[in-house]
Amino acid sequence: MPMCASKTRQHKSYWAQQLFHCIEEMAQLNTNAVLLTLADVDVVESGRSYPDEGLMFANKRWRAFYHCHEAATQHENEHGHFHIFTEIGEQEWAHAAGLAIDDSGQPLHWFAVNRWVTDGPWLDRVQFIQQLQATTDNEQDSLAGRWLFALLRLHQSELIDMFQSRDKQLRSHPDHLQHAVALEDRNIYTLAIEKIELQAMLEKNLLH
């Protein structure tokens, strides 16, 4: 990769442009990332993950699926959410973030879940940053995959804040000295939330 392209990717404006291109492509098709992910699905079933094989992106180093829970376990105004994982070893996937989506396919907020929710290895904040910066976008990825990765990179700072809030929340757990106990506490599903203001974020990084 040329040096200048690599440097460009460190800037939020690059990811804002990539995201906007994805949105423009979707707009032309009157669709969004969730509808694209559910394109071959006749009936959406709660609790089931789509697509079956997972949505791979960013040179297959990142992977996501979309699903809906029954209403009682959903966040407010949420239709469903993407769970986004990153490969941290040979076929070893760690959960990086959840992305809540409203019923018109728009991103509502990022969220961090407790370890028991997604199983697998626990991703710390430093690892998350390294994973995000070590991978780059791939034009061959699906439109939904490119949209997800651009959204992740554009919100890198906000996601780092979310990881800090998540860790702070865990430290306030009565069993915080026994880290493993807190991570398996079935009473705690969501540990942190970071709101998404898509329009404002795009304007801030494309127009200013």
Partner 1 sequence: MKRKQSRIIIGTAISAAAIAIAVDHTRQRLPEPEITVASQDAVIIIDEGDELPVDNAGDCSKPDRPGRQASPCSL
Using CB under 8 A as the criterion, which residues of the chain lie in contact with partner 1 when the complex forms? 20, 23-24, 26-28, 30-32, 34-35, 38, 41, 43-48, 54, 63, 65, 67-70, 79-80, 83, 85, 93, 95, 98, 101, 103-106, 113, 116-120, 186, 198-199, 202-203, 206-207
Q: What does the CA dihedral 191, 197, 198, 200 come to, rounded to 10 degrees?
A: -150
Q: Which is nearer to partner 1, 80 or 145 (CB)?
A: 80
Q: Which is nearer to partner 1, 28 or 140 (CB)?
A: 28
Q: Which is nearer to partner 1, 3 or 187 (CB)?
A: 187
**Closest separation in Å from C-beta 23 to partner 1:** 5
Host H or E run for residue 85 = strand 80-89
**Closest separation in Å from C-beta 27 to partner 1:** 3
Q: Which is nearer to partner 1, 4 or 187 (CB)?
A: 187
What sign results for the dihedral spanned by CA atoms 12, 97, 59, 38? negative
CA 207 to chain centre: 25
Q: Which is nearer to partner 1, 6 or 73 (CB)?
A: 73
Alpha carbons 89 and 63: distance in angstroms, whole number: 13
Alpha carbons 29 and 57: distance in angstroms, whole number: 21
**Closest separation in Å from C-beta 144 to partner 1:** 11
Residues 103, 77: contact at Cβ < 8 Å?
yes
**Closest separation in Å from C-beta 6 to partner 1:** 27
Q: Which is nearer to partner 1, 129 or 198 (CB)?
A: 198
Burial 89-125 (b: 16+ CB within 10 A, else e): eeeebbbbbbbbbbeebbbbbbbbbbbebbeeeebee
**Closest separation in Å from C-beta 47 to partner 1:** 5
CA 6 to chain centre: 22
Vertex 109: Cα angle to 177 and 102 (nearest 5): 135
**Closest separation in Å from C-beta 21 to partner 1:** 10
